[in-house]
Amino acid sequence: MNINLSGKKALVGASTSGIGEAIAIQLAASGATVTLMSRSLDKLEAVKSVLSTNEGQQHQILQVDFTDFEAYQVLISEYFENNSVAILVNNTQGPEAGTALDKSIADYQEAFDLLFKTVAFTTALALKSMQNNKWGRVINVASVTVKEPLSYLVLSNSVRAAVVTWAKSLATEVGKDGITVNSILTGYFNTERIKALNAQKAKEQGISEDEVLKQLEAAVPVRRIGDPAEYGYLVAFLASDFAGYITGTQIPIDGGALSSL
């Protein structure tokens, strides 16, 4: 099976590191023209420089701050005034860790703006051209914690669950237009985010970060955490014509770590 996304334009959020970067690299390798979207201009330029550049590919960068929703609205609206995309990957950095007793109402509002409002607003803009072209892919980077919440990630658990149920509702509305909407439930991957969480756990538990990593690996049936490149492969498939009958789903990519169905 050869995944060919030539002629397709993709917008990938938080694409200067970790999962977002791996997604952008694989979409570009599959022939798509990619717009990278993140906060650091230097990192955006660095990732752009390593993307595949075959004939017809003209990759772009878009510097945004997902934590400032009002400013984000302006920048993303300006982008869509002059651009359209066939593939939208909704991805942002995660909110701060913490338990239900740690967080205030303001914390929940910030997390909602970061994880939900950016996704819903960006998707609404992207859908216009997708509906006109009768083809589109909306792929949300979510988390396995929407099925099995982790107490120390209450903001992520709560708001990403809202994204997943919103996506399911949206999928029923736009399926007739040749648009699929899917959410990926992310497990443990070798990213800066997981390293930061591991460092916090190590400090709280009085053990080394290596010990925390070993605990995570032991909890995964395949006995390792994921390589972000593997995530990119799944997204490229979902973005292709081969996945045209897959929509409204929540697909775990977690090495079998979820114990629930």
Residues forming the active site? 152
Task: For the chain, report the end-to-end CA distance as a whole number of angstroms.
Answer: 28
Cα–Cα nearest to 186, from 3, 2, 22: 22
Single-letter amino acid code for the residue at 87: I
Instruction: Give the separation between CA 132 and CA 232, rounded to whole angstroms.
Output: 27
DSSP helix/strand/coil, 121: helix
The Cβ-side half-sphere exposure at 145, using a 13 Å CA radius, reads 18
The maximal CA–CA distance of the chain, rounded, in angstroms, is: 56
Q: What angle do CA 3, 4, 10 make, to 5 degrees?
A: 105
